[in-house]
A and B are shown apart, each in its own frame.
Chain A
């Protein structure tokens, strides 16, 4: 009887096994499709990994280019400022000469009034005097020159004012460089996590920490006086506070 019971158990287990195999047969296509998917995905992931490593290695070049742009604009700005400086010096010289000429012309005019007075009794001089006076427009011409000089000086001043944009943009570019370096460091660590063997084949380029350059990431080129007004009010409040301290000291 015991043997019959054992056999019945065995059949039951075999039946269970048959059910498992049936399920297994159903699962095989699903597992196959997962394997196929993995086969397709792995090269894709490797491509992504290679691409990230490649991009990471290109970042130093991008940083160098930004640094070069900053240096070039710095140099150009300094050269323009040198020229503007030279123009201003020349304009000052010309203006001084012009002032001397204007003073001389004024004196000449005064003398001319006296000469004209002496000539009034001389027959025939009237027409000559009139012709001379018509030709003599030097004071008016010099006044026009002065206006032109003032305009040129103002233009030079405005050019130099606008050149401050270089300092602001160089700070903004330095901030971008800093950001790029942060991204590069993140990408480098990502590549290391994804595939260490790949990394050994593809040595990541190291960037020396940027030349101890300093920058304000929020530097803005604006002609608005708003920020300066705010600074002035803080400076003024600070100085009045200091005066109060001085008063307090007197009574301590």
Chain B
């Protein structure tokens, strides 16, 4: 059975790009345009991993991670931050609130495949 990855990003091209990189490796991808939509989609399927942007409307990536980590159902799901924010403050904050990895845009698709495989294989 294919493992399902939820990609939350307000940029359609980035969602497509991540899907492009991971679908080739046999993962099923579900997309969300912001943190709120991601939270709504999380219970729908057995999500194995979440890749999230930080700057998103309605509910940003930090809030999404906080919500997930405070929910027993989702607290153990690995989370990879994928953001153009490259400041040490954001990285520290992201890791402190519970992200597992932090990738900076523009990113190498091979790297995202590597990070996902690290948690799912």
Give bound CA distance, A54 to B88, whole Å. 43
- Residue B117 at the chain A interface, CB threshold 8 Å: no
Q: Chain B, 72-108, contact with A by CB distance < 8 Å: what is the 0/1 string?
A: 0000000000011110100110011000011111111
- Residue A62 at the chain B interface, CB threshold 8 Å: no
On whether the beta carbons of A214 and B56 are closer than 8 Å, the reply is yes
Number of interchain pairs (Cβ within 8 Å): 99
Given contacts A164-B17, A234-B91, contact A221 B58 (CB under 8 A): no
On whether the beta carbons of B13 and A163 are closer than 8 Å, the reply is yes
CB distance from B82 to the nearest CB of A (A): 10
Interface of A is mostly: helix
B57 in complex: contacting residue of A212, A218, A227, A228, CB < 8 Å: A212
On whether the beta carbons of B86 and A231 are closer than 8 Å, the reply is yes
CB-defined contacts of A183 to chain B, threshold 8 Å: none
B55 in complex: contacting residue of A74, A82, A85, A215, CB < 8 Å: A215
Give bound CA distance, A220 to B104, whole Å. 10
The bracket for how many chain A residues form the interface is 35 or more
Given A74-B11, A164-B17, A235-B91, 19 further pairs, Cβ under 8 A? A74-B12, A77-B13, A81-B13, A81-B17, A84-B20, A160-B17, A161-B108, A164-B105, A167-B84, A167-B105, A167-B106, A168-B84, A171-B84, A220-B84, A221-B106, A231-B91, A231-B102, A234-B95, A235-B95
